[in-house]
Copies of this chain bind each other. A is one copy, B any other.
Amino acid sequence: MGILLSRLIHDWKPTATRPVYKSLYQYLRECIHSGEVVAGSIIPASRKLAVALSISRNTVNQAIEMLVSDGLLESRPGAGTFVSSGLDETVLKNARLIQEQDAKTPAISHRATEWLNVHRSKKVGLNAKAFAPGKPALDRFPFDIWARLLSRRWRLSGPSLAMAEDVKGYDLLRQHIARHLQASRGGQCDPDQIIITSGAQQGLDIIARVLWEEGDVIVTDDPSFPGISGVLSGAGVRQLTLPIDDEGICLEGLEQDHKIKSFLVTPSRNYPLGVSLSLARRMELLKTARAHEAWVVEDDFDCDFRFDGPPLSSLQSVDGDGRVIYVGTFSRILFPALRLGFIVAPKQLVPTFEAAKSFMDGHASIVHQAALADFFEEGYFHSHLRRMKKLYQTRRAFLVDWISRDLNDDLYVMPSDGGLHICVLFKQQRNDVTFAQKLAENGVIVRPLSPFYKREKKKFGLVMGFAGYDEEELVKALVIVKKYLNL
C-alpha cells in the first residue's frame, strides 16, 4: 500500500461543512503542495481509493479531475494518474516556502495612512438615536411607494436596465435634477452638465482627482465635515482652513501670494455651525477665486431644508466663469443608503468627469436612478420634500424652544436658517468631548463641536440632529442632557 493511500486512510475524514469531493480534493492538494507526495508519484486507482475510504467512486473521480484541472495531477493514458512531473522540486519548494512566516510586504500608501488618521465620528447607522445628526425622518419616507417603483422598473425593463452603462447617469433623472435646480436654486444648468455619483462623498472625490495635483493648496471652511478632510487626504493636497463667522467663510486671512488651486465651500450652510454665506461674501468669494484663477467647489449637501424662506440661490447660479463645480446629494431628502448624489460641472469639464467616473467605478446603480426619476416624475419627490420641510421646521422649533426655556443658562443655540441639526454652544467652559461621551453612555448621541475644527481657535458645544426624532424622543433625550448639564 502506497504512502498516500495509507495517509488517506488514517488521516483524512470528510467534514460536515463541505462536500466530500471538495474535502478530498483539499486534502490531496495540501499533500502535494507540502511536498509530502512528490512529483511522479502514482495516485491509487479510483476504485481502490473509493473502497478504502468508503466513499463513492464518482466522488473520488471528481476530486481527481479537479486536481488534474489545477495541473497538480496528470493523467497518462493506459498508465494511471500521477503527481505532475511539471511540478519540479523547485516549484513545490516554493509552494512550501510561501507558507512560512517571514514574508515581507510593502507599506501602504502615504494617502492611506492619512485616511486612517482622519477623525471620523463613529457611525451610528441602524441604531441612530436622538440626537444623532444626518438621520432624516425615515418613518415618514414612503417605502411602499419606493418598493413599488423599484419593482415595476425591474419587471418592465429589467434586461435593458441590467445592461445600461450610462457613465453620466440615467437620462431622465438628470433632466429632473436640472429642472429641480433651476426651479429651487436659480441654477442655470443643462442635464448634460450633470454626472450622477455615488453620494456627495464620491462627487467630491471625483472633483479632487480630476482637478487637483498632490501638494495643491485647497481652501476650506473651519470647522468642516470630516468627509472633506478625507477627500483632501486622498488627493494628497494641502488644506488651508479659513474661519467661519456669522456671514460664513472669512476670506480676510487670505493673501494674494497664496497659490490657491480651489475653494471648497458650503455656501448654503456650514457643517456643523449652520451659518449661511451672505450674498456679499458670495460675491467676494467668486471675485477672490477669479483673482487666484481657482476653481470653486460648492458642496451643497444641505440646501433643500431652508425653513426661513425658499432655498438661497446657489453660487453656481451666479457664476459666469465656468469656475464653480456644484455637488448635491439625495441622502438627506430620501435616505443615506441610497448613495445617489450628483455633480453639476462646467461644460468643458464634463468629458473628464465622465472618464474619471468610468475608471473609478463605472457608473452609479441604474435601477435606483430609474426609480428616483419615477419618484420625481410622479410628483412624490416634491411632495415628500414639502412634507419633510414642514415636519423638520416643527421639530426644530420644538427643540429650540425647549432649550431656550429649560437650558438657557447653559446652552446658546447658533442661529441657522434650516438643516437637519442645530449647533449649540456652551455658555460655561466645558469639555464637549467628555460631555458627549458621558451622554453616549446614557443612550443620548450628540456630536461634540470642537473636533470639527482644525485650528486652535475652537468653539465648544454640541451638534444635535432633530430631523429623525419625534417630540417624545427629543424630550426623553433632552431630559438626560439637562441632568448632565446640572451635575
| Chain A positions near chain B (C-beta within 8 angstroms) | 18-19, 22, 25-26, 29, 33, 62, 65-66, 68-72, 84, 86-87, 91, 94-95, 97-100, 103-106, 108-112, 115-116, 118, 120, 123-126, 128, 135, 138-139, 141, 143-144, 146-148, 150-151, 154-155, 158-167, 182-183, 186, 197-199, 201-202, 205, 209-214, 227, 230-231, 233-234, 261, 278-280, 283-284, 286-287, 290, 293-295, 306, 308-310, 312-313, 318-323, 334-339, 346, 349, 351-352, 355-356, 358-368
Tell me whether A154 and B146 are in contact in the complex, defined as CB-CB below 8 angstroms, given that A205-B361, A339-B365 are known contacts. yes
Q: Which residues of B contact A349 (CB under 8 A)?
A: 108
Q: Which residues of B contact A183 (CB under 8 A)?
A: 18-19, 22
Chain B nearest CB, measured from A160 CB (Å) = 5
Q: Which of A105, A139, A158: most chain B Cβ within 10 A?
A: A105
* B283 and A94 contact, CB distance less than 8 A: yes
* B94 and A125 contact, CB distance less than 8 A: no
* A125 and B166 contact, CB distance less than 8 A: yes
Bound complex: CA A159 to CA B125 (Å):
11
Q: Which residues of B contact A279 (CB under 8 A)?
A: 70-72, 84, 86-87, 91
Which residue of chain B has its CB nearest to the CB of A109? Answer: B213
Q: Which residues of B contact A227 (CB under 8 A)?
A: 359
Tell me whether A143 and B163 are in contact in the complex, defined as CB-CB below 8 angstroms, given that A112-B211, A199-B362 are known contacts. no
Bound complex: CA A356 to CA B19 (Å):
37
Bound complex: CA A25 to CA B317 (Å):
13
Which residue of chain B has its CB nearest to the CB of A279? Answer: B71
Chain B nearest CB, measured from A343 CB (Å) = 13
Q: Which residues of B contact A164 (CB under 8 A)?
A: 125-126, 337
Q: Which residues of B contact A201 (CB under 8 A)?
A: 358-362
Q: Which residues of B contact A126 (CB under 8 A)?
A: 160, 163-165
Q: Which residues of B contact A309 (CB under 8 A)?
A: 65-66, 68-69
Chain B nearest CB, measured from A224 CB (Å) = 14
Chain B nearest CB, measured from A374 CB (Å) = 14
* B368 and A106 contact, CB distance less than 8 A: no
Which residue of chain B has its CB nearest to the CB of A182? Answer: B18
* B86 and A202 contact, CB distance less than 8 A: no
Q: Which residues of B contact A290 (CB under 8 A)?
A: 97-98, 103-104
Q: Which residues of B contact A29 (CB under 8 A)?
A: 186, 313
- Contact with A91, one of B120, B138, B283 (Cβ below 8 angstroms): B283
Q: Which of A18, A155, A359, A366: most chain B Cβ within 10 A?
A: A359
* B352 and A366 contact, CB distance less than 8 A: no
* A165 and B352 contact, CB distance less than 8 A: no
* B321 and A103 contact, CB distance less than 8 A: yes
Chain B nearest CB, measured from A189 CB (Å) = 14
Q: Which residues of B contact A72 (CB under 8 A)?
A: 279
A-B contact pairs, 15 of them (CB 8 A): A33-B318, A69-B306, A86-B279, A91-B280, A91-B283, A95-B283, A95-B318, A98-B287, A103-B290, A106-B293, A118-B359, A162-B336, A198-B198, A337-B366, A339-B365
